[in-house]
Chains A and B, each alone.
Chain A
Amino acid sequence: MNEICLKTHQIEKHFGGVIALRDGSIDIRAGEVLALVGSNGSGKSTLTKIVTGVLSQDNGAIIYQDSQVEFTNPMAAQKAGVIAVYQELSLVPSLTVAQNIWLANEPRDKSGFIDDRKMNLLTADLLKLFEGTYQPSLHPEAYLRELPPDERQIVEILKAYSRDPEVLILDEATASLDSKQVNCLYDLIQLLKSKNKGLVFVSHRMDEIFRFADRAVVLRNGQTVGEVVITETSEDEIVNMMIGSDEGLIRDHGRKSKDNHKETILVVENLGNDRLVDVNFSVTKGELVGIGGLRGQGQSTLLHSLFGDDYHTGSIIIEGESLKFDHPKEAMENGIALIPGDRATEGLLLMRSILENFHLPNWKKYASPILKMKKARRDAAQVGDQLNLIMESLDSPVSNLSGGNAQKVVIGKWLLRDPKILLLDDPTKGVDVGTKAEFYRLLRQLQEKGTTILLYSSDEQELLDLCERVLVMQDGTIKADLTGKELTESNLVYFSMGASTNHNNHEVSWHA
């Protein structure tokens, strides 16, 4: 086994009351690629940010080249040779490719002036590593804001490589690259391996983990749960470590499918835009369909497209009628409601009263000739009761409410419209357990009343608990449509990681 060059020991990190990491322990070895694996919110990104000095840990130690270190900022980590290719790109759009790559590391002449010519030549040399995989628009003097995502990613990779790292961390570096570009990255990684550098590879894709890595560490709920040697393991073993064999297997089946074959309400055909590719599915009336997959695979875009908030091609057929929405207003008039993911920016007027927030989409109902405030109040109070909303009065501002209660207001304002189709974009993010339970009850009630619900959630457990059917998305398209016996946690994880589709022994785990 190779020598350990960087070791993290029981790293802990809290964000307010939320524990992001409770025991992050990894050994990075020189001349080896370590894969860091885990599902949404398992703490991979937090751990890489702590190692590179972007965040500081609450507890635990980092041992680098045999001594304990404390990287208080990214500069310190970079000086020591610990460098990352970040998932949220660390590039400045208003600077050129060369300026970005050499930022804070510029080649300078004897009197301290930046040597632009040399910088551009060096950049051209670096770009040769990816030769033939990008458009001619990518050159040292091109402005970053004009480049497509894959070329930005290349710049980000080259930026890290140009700093001559001892330890290089690639956080989802392949997410926007095509296969040719991934091959170039593979060669680059082999080159660094042969120079005895330590590498960490964070990825959601099974095939890449098996191709790039020598070992894999699995994180679950902020905890290191195991380490395996890639050549001695299988995709199944890693998936089982990710979900843990002991949790979440007993489910209360509120989702008794009343299989009396109702009519189809929504058909989506060949939906596409810059984030979505050829999305096809149909939903029957009163169904509660989950949308799963890793974060950022186009789930939100899909919901926003259905709501007329995002440009798209393909067709949306509601109750047999092909509709095209250019504005959310048109979708609303057709009985569609969207409960957005980010309630603070997309869902609420924080400074305004609960009453106003409830009625923002509904004033039309009370409008003639002047606003019928009494009736509006009565209806708002009724919805407040139905949602079990804890508030001082209808007139107090939404900003006074706790996260869970604020989310109820977002839901309430759409309930007043009595929608036919309810779209939910990760609605329980940052909501406490009690409110979640109430929220689940509410969804069931709506479903019984005949409302069709499309729920995207980043919490696999939630999808399993609530839905009779889950569409798993990856790279903007639907990878799997799971119902009945196929709908298991391991299948959800399996398909969201893009594992091979000829896979048949995953029905077992939740029966156990």
Chain B
Amino acid sequence: MPDNRNSKLTRWWNNLNVKHSLGLSLILLVSSTIISFALQPNVFQEGTIQRVMTSNFRTWLPVILVTIGQAIVILGGGLDLSNGAIVSVGNVILALTVTTTDEPGKNILMILVVLGFGIAAGLLNGFFTSYLGLQPVIITFASSFVYSGLALLLLPSPGGAIPRDYTNAYRNTSLIGIPISLIVIIVFVLIWEFFRRRKYGRFLFAVGGNSKAAYTTGVPVTWVKISTYMISGLMASLAAISYTLLTGSGLSSSGDDMTLASVTGSVLGGISMSGGAGSVLGAVFGGIVLGNIRNIISSLKLDSWWRTLVNALVIVLVLAGPGTINLIRRKKK
């Protein structure tokens, strides 16, 4: 860090760190991106970067979307372990019903059904955790079995086929050179910025920071908490849509990996597990970092268990880092 404490750069950095807790996630984002590109063959050939970006973002979009939802739940002081299962249900519904381009009306209806299911599942989670005050970890873990059971009931073995036209549109559409999946991400970051500057954002941070204080100040705590689970459910449904468009088929366990990834991504994105600090942009960064780790490991041609190991090590480091530093500081005193 520069010596001059008042330099613009330092101030910008402090602002980033203290106000939005983005510092660490930005470092991780930049370093993982550089490593990932360095391992890419032919980086400097024309079109490589564009091609890699398009393929990366369309693969990462589902995880990034659930991570945004998870981040909002964690910001409000909760945790949603059922978002992956909600993705599975959405994916299965779409794979079973959206089979032809001839009936656009029906297809749109099914998308609405999937979105409605996500919101309803979130409402259920929110009701039990926030209105009845039960443990979020237990409730959402339990409800995840209900949802993944439902997915398995609907589609016992992998199958279903989404029309080629749809999947191709998802893969190849881009606007002024920006792939559609990246545009979706940017749109959600902007929507978050919109709400962050309004009453809702302030309430969310207050509830996550100290819900008792927020309550005595007149913040509708229960509603804010329930709404975070509903948002998480909605984001999981959107992830289901993008996942289905990506793979073109249905799998009843499609969202299983996404739950842990959404928590890991949130933590890597600088979101405090105790709530009240962090930002959605950080969650997006966290999701990208996870994607980069995956790419790095596959470029190195390592076995896939390395991915799990590295993810685990990174999360432990990020979670335990600040605590350890504080402990060492205190001991020195």
Interface residues of A (CB under 8 A from B): 52, 54, 73-75, 78-79, 84, 86, 89-95, 99, 103-106, 108, 112-114, 143, 159
Q: In the docked arrangement, what's the CA distance between A93 and B277, Å? A: 10
Chief secondary structure at chain B's binding surface: helix
Tell me whether A75 and B210 are in contact (CB under 8 A). Answer: no
Q: In the docked arrangement, what's the CA distance between A103 and B277, Å? A: 16
Q: B323 contacts the other chain (Cβ, under 8 Å)?
A: no
User: Can you list 25 A-B contacts with CB-CB less than 8 angstroms, sorted by A residue number?
Assistant: A52-B216, A73-B215, A74-B215, A75-B219, A90-B213, A90-B217, A92-B205, A92-B206, A92-B210, A92-B276, A93-B209, A93-B210, A94-B209, A94-B210, A95-B209, A99-B202, A103-B214, A103-B217, A103-B219, A104-B199, A108-B199, A113-B197, A114-B199, A143-B18, A159-B217
Min CB distance A273 to B, Å, is 13
Min CB distance B209 to A, Å, is 4
Tell me whether B210 and A104 are in contact (CB under 8 A). Answer: no
Return chain B residues, CB-CB under 8 Å to A104: 199, 202-203, 206, 214, 217-219
Q: B159 contacts the other chain (Cβ, under 8 Å)?
A: no
Q: In the docked arrangement, what's the CA distance between A319 and B246, Å? A: 77
Q: In the docked arrangement, what's the CA distance between A74 and B216, Å? A: 6
Return chain A residues, CB-CB under 8 Å to B213: 89-92
Given A75-B218, A92-B214, verify A103-B206 contact (CB < 8 Å).
yes
Return chain B residues, CB-CB under 8 Å to A90: 212-213, 216-217
Given A54-B216, A86-B216, A94-B277, verify A114-B209 contact (CB < 8 Å).
no
Q: B220 contacts the other chain (Cβ, under 8 Å)?
A: yes
Chief secondary structure at chain A's binding surface: loop
Q: In the docked arrangement, what's the CA distance between A475 and B277, Å? A: 34
Q: B51 contacts the other chain (Cβ, under 8 Å)?
A: no
Name which of B18, B198, B213, B214 has the most chain A CB atoms within 10 A of its CB: B213
Return chain A residues, CB-CB under 8 Å to B218: 73-75, 78-79, 104-105
Q: Which of A79, A86, A103 contacts B202 (CB 8 A)?
A: A103
Q: In the docked arrangement, what's the CA distance between A370 and B201, Å? A: 59
Q: Output the nearest chain A residue to B206 by Cβ-Cβ distance.
A: A92
Q: Which of A79, A92, A106, A112 contacts B209 (CB 8 A)?
A: A92
Q: In the docked arrangement, what's the CA distance between A94 and B276, Å? A: 7
Interface residues of B (CB under 8 A from A): 18, 197-199, 201-203, 205-206, 208-210, 212-220, 272, 276-277
Min CB distance A3 to B, Å, is 27
Min CB distance B19 to A, Å, is 9
Q: In the docked arrangement, what's the CA distance between A159 and B215, Å? A: 14
Min CB distance B197 to A, Å, is 5
Return chain A residues, CB-CB under 8 Å to B272: 94
Return chain A residues, CB-CB under 8 Å to B205: 92, 94-95, 99
Return chain B residues, CB-CB under 8 Å to A52: 216
Name which of A84, A104, A114 has the most chain B CB atoms within 10 A of its CB: A104
- Supplied contacts A103-B217, A104-B203, A106-B199, 13 more A-B pairs, CB within 8 Å: A52-B216, A86-B216, A90-B216, A91-B210, A94-B208, A94-B209, A95-B205, A99-B205, A103-B206, A103-B214, A106-B202, A108-B199, A113-B197
Min CB distance A60 to B, Å, is 21
Name which of B199, B212, B215 has the most chain A CB atoms within 10 A of its CB: B199
Q: In the docked arrangement, what's the CA distance between A89 and B210, Å? A: 11
Min CB distance B81 to A, Å, is 24
Min CB distance A116 to B, Å, is 8
Return chain B residues, CB-CB under 8 Å to A106: 199, 202
Min CB distance B277 to A, Å, is 5
Min CB distance B133 to A, Å, is 15
Q: In the docked arrangement, what's the CA distance between A103 and B201, Å? A: 11
Q: Output the nearest chain A residue to B278 by Cβ-Cβ distance.
A: A94
Min CB distance A18 to B, Å, is 21
Min CB distance A507 to B, Å, is 43
Q: In the docked arrangement, what's the CA distance between A92 and B272, Å? A: 15
Min CB distance B98 to A, Å, is 37
Q: In the docked arrangement, what's the CA distance between A54 and B210, Å? A: 15
Q: Output the nearest chain B residue to A89 by Cβ-Cβ distance.
A: B213
Q: In the docked arrangement, what's the CA distance between A114 and B218, Å? A: 17
Min CB distance A113 to B, Å, is 5
Q: In the docked arrangement, what's the CA distance between A74 and B214, Å? A: 10
Return chain A residues, CB-CB under 8 Å to B214: 92, 103-104
Return chain B residues, CB-CB under 8 Å to A75: 218-220
Q: In the docked arrangement, what's the CA distance between A104 and B200, Å? A: 10
Q: In the docked arrangement, what's the CA distance between A92 and B198, Å? A: 18
Tell me whether B198 and A112 are in contact (CB under 8 A). Answer: yes
Q: In the docked arrangement, what's the CA distance between A390 and B299, Å? A: 67
Min CB distance A50 to B, Å, is 13
Q: In the docked arrangement, what's the CA distance between A347 and B218, Å? A: 36
Q: Output the nearest chain A residue to B201 by Cβ-Cβ distance.
A: A114
